[in-house]
Amino acid sequence: MRILLTNDDGILSPVLYRVADALATEHEVVVVAPSTDQSGKSHGFTHRPEKLLTYLEEKGMPYPAFQVGGTPCDCVKFAISQLMQNNLPDLVVSGINLGENAGVSAVYSGTVAAAREAALWGIPALAISLMAETDAHIDFALEWLVELLRKPEELPPPHTLWNINFPLCAPEEVVGSEFTAMSTVMFTDHYEEVRTEHGIKGYRLLGRKPKEKFVTGTDDYALRQKRIAITPLQIAQTNTAELERLRLEEVRS
């Protein structure tokens, strides 16, 4: 399988090459990642005539690898429409990200946005994130991913992305995986005032998701139950229930 691998942590992330090396043992891998850390950039991309995108090929790699001066979305868009236009990937893998991207985190995530961009082009995509950051958790997720890719018939169809999150517990405590809905529990955000060494005042964003609000069947809940959460996401964002309500009101009027 031909796989486009990207992330939102940037081309210098050591995790990126651990993923690439693992996948390259059984697949054709092309790495296209941001030049710098782009965490939390969501689906931003570089456009307008005066804003130019730049890229640089990484030499001496066992697989093609490029750094792009832009966002995760830029990486996928540029790879599909320029770098790989004559030999498109069969699948896009975004991650492995250190830090969860479950529930509403997916809205802000550059990792998930890269997978979403692929789905917009009709290419199936996986966004993969870990709640823990140890080598053991990374190795466990890699083994799970490699095994998943051995069953291409079970991967998402075109125009679809799966947002996959691994729980915080030790790998040996994981009790399986679960297909879940996206949680909509919002962060309890607040800002902490800080000052730089030069006395400049600024604000640091802090927050957490209140666990007591997690609902059975959602990704946030599954992670707390020590399960791998696999959430299929779609491109269309239409609120179908609200649309139907408005159409009924329109008919009545």
Q: What is the reported pLDDT for 172? A: 97
Q: What is the reported pLDDT for 253? A: 73
Alpha-carbon span 144 to 181, nearest angstrom: 21
3-state SS class at 148: helix
Rg of the chain over all Cα atoms, to the nearest angstrom: 19
Reported residue count of the chain is: 253
CA-CA-CA-CA torsion sign (135, 89, 228, 112): positive
Q: What is the reported pLDDT for 142? A: 97
Please state, rounded to an integer, the average pLDDT across all residues of the chain: 94
CATH number of 2-183+211-252: 3.40.1210.10
Alpha-carbon span 61 to 194, nearest angstrom: 42
Q: What is the reported pLDDT for 252? A: 79
- Evaluate whether 166 touches 130 at the Cβ level (below 8 Å): yes
3-state SS class at 226: coil
Q: What is the reported pLDDT for 41? A: 82
pLDDT beneath 70, residues of the chain: none
Residue-range domain boundaries for the chain = 2-183+211-252
Q: What is the reported pLDDT for 54? A: 86
Q: What is the reported pLDDT for 44? A: 85
Alpha-carbon span 118 to 236, nearest angstrom: 14
Q: What is the reported pLDDT for 213? A: 94
